[in-house]
Chain A
Amino acid sequence: MSDGVIATVLIALLGGAMRVSTPFMFVALGECLTEKSGRVNLGLEGTLVLGAVTAYATSYHSGSPWLGVFAAGCAGASLGAIHGFVCKLPRVNDIAIGIAMMLLGTGIAFFFGKAYIQPTAPRLESLSLGAWTGDAKLATALQINPLLIVGVLIALFMWWAFANTRWGLLIRMSGDSAPAARAMGVSVDLVRFLATAAGGFLAGVGGAFLSLYYPGSWNQGLSSGQGLMAVALVIFARWNPLRCVAAALLFGATGAIGPALQSVGVTQGYYFFNAAPYILTLLILIGSAGSKQATREAPGELSITK
Chain B
Amino acid sequence: MSEFRISRRHFMHGAGAIGASGLLAGASAPALAAGVTLGIVYVGPRDDFGWNQAHAVAIKGLKAVAGVKAVEEENVPETDACAKSMESMVNLDGANIVLGTSFGYFTPFMVDLAKKYPKVEFRHAAPLWDGSKHPKNLGSYFGYLNQAHYVNGVAAGLSTKSNKLGFVAAKPISSVLSNINSFLLGARKVNPNAVVQVIFTGDWSLPVREAEATNALVDAGCDVITCHVDGPKVVIETAEKRGVKSCGHNASQAPLAPKGFLTGAEYKWETIYKIYADKVAKGEPLPNMLAGGYDTDMVMNTPFGAGASEEARKAATAAIADLKAKKPIYVGPLKDNKGNLVIDKAYDNYDPYLDQMNYLLEGVIGSIT
Contacts and interface: CB of A to CB of B under 8 A. Distances in A.
B197 A263 contact: yes
A268 B369 contact: yes
B208 interface: yes
Contacts of B369: 268-269
Interface hub of A137, A210, A262 (most chain B Cβ within 10 A): A262
Interface stretch (A10-18, A84-92, A278-286): A10-18
B219 A12 contact: yes
Nearest to B200: A270
Interface residues of B, number: 39
A12 B209 CA distance: 13
Contact of A214 (B75, B197, B199, B211): B211
Contact-residue size bin, chain A (C-beta under 8 Å from the other chain)? 35 or more
Contact of A221 (B207, B217, B219, B366): B207
Contacts of B220: 8, 263-264
A277 to B, nearest CB: 11
A93 B205 CA distance: 33
B233 interface: yes
Interface string A248-288: 00000001101110111101111100100000000000000
A259 B213 contact: yes
B273 to A, nearest CB: 22
Given A217-B237, A267-B365, A259 B207 contact: no
A interface majority secondary structure: helix
A146 interface: no
A118 B242 CA distance: 21
B265 interface: no
Interface in B201-236: 201-202, 205-213, 215-217, 219-220, 231, 233-234
A219 B231 contact: yes
Contact of B207 (A16, A140, A215, A267): A215
A19 interface: yes
A215 B219 contact: no
A221 B209 contact: no
Given A114-B45, A220-B44, A259 B199 contact: yes
B213 to A, nearest CB: 4
B238 interface: yes
A221 B212 contact: no
B48 interface: yes
Contacts of B237: 215-217
A219 B207 contact: yes
Nearest to A16: B212
Contacts of A274: 201-202, 209
B238 to A, nearest CB: 7
Given A117-B47, A271-B202, A140 B219 contact: yes
Contacts of A214: 208, 211
Nearest to B367: A267
B200 A220 contact: no
B170 to A, nearest CB: 12
A226 interface: yes
Given A117-B48, A118-B47, A215-B238, A221 B216 contact: no
A3 B88 CA distance: 62
A263 B219 contact: yes
Contacts of B216: 12, 256, 259-260, 262-263
B367 A224 contact: no
B198 interface: yes
B228 to A, nearest CB: 15
A8 B216 CA distance: 9
Interface in B152-209: 197-202, 205-209
Nearest to B218: A140
A80 to B, nearest CB: 24
A169 interface: no
A75 interface: no
A20 interface: yes
A95 interface: no
Interface in A209-239: 210, 214-217, 219-222, 224, 226
Given A216-B234, A262-B366, 16 more contacts: A8-B219, A11-B219, A12-B216, A20-B208, A20-B212, A110-B75, A114-B47, A210-B208, A214-B211, A215-B210, A215-B237, A217-B234, A255-B212, A258-B201, A259-B216, A270-B367
19 contacts: A11-B219, A110-B75, A117-B47, A214-B211, A215-B207, A215-B208, A217-B233, A217-B234, A219-B207, A219-B234, A220-B75, A255-B209, A258-B212, A259-B216, A263-B197, A263-B216, A263-B220, A267-B366, A274-B202
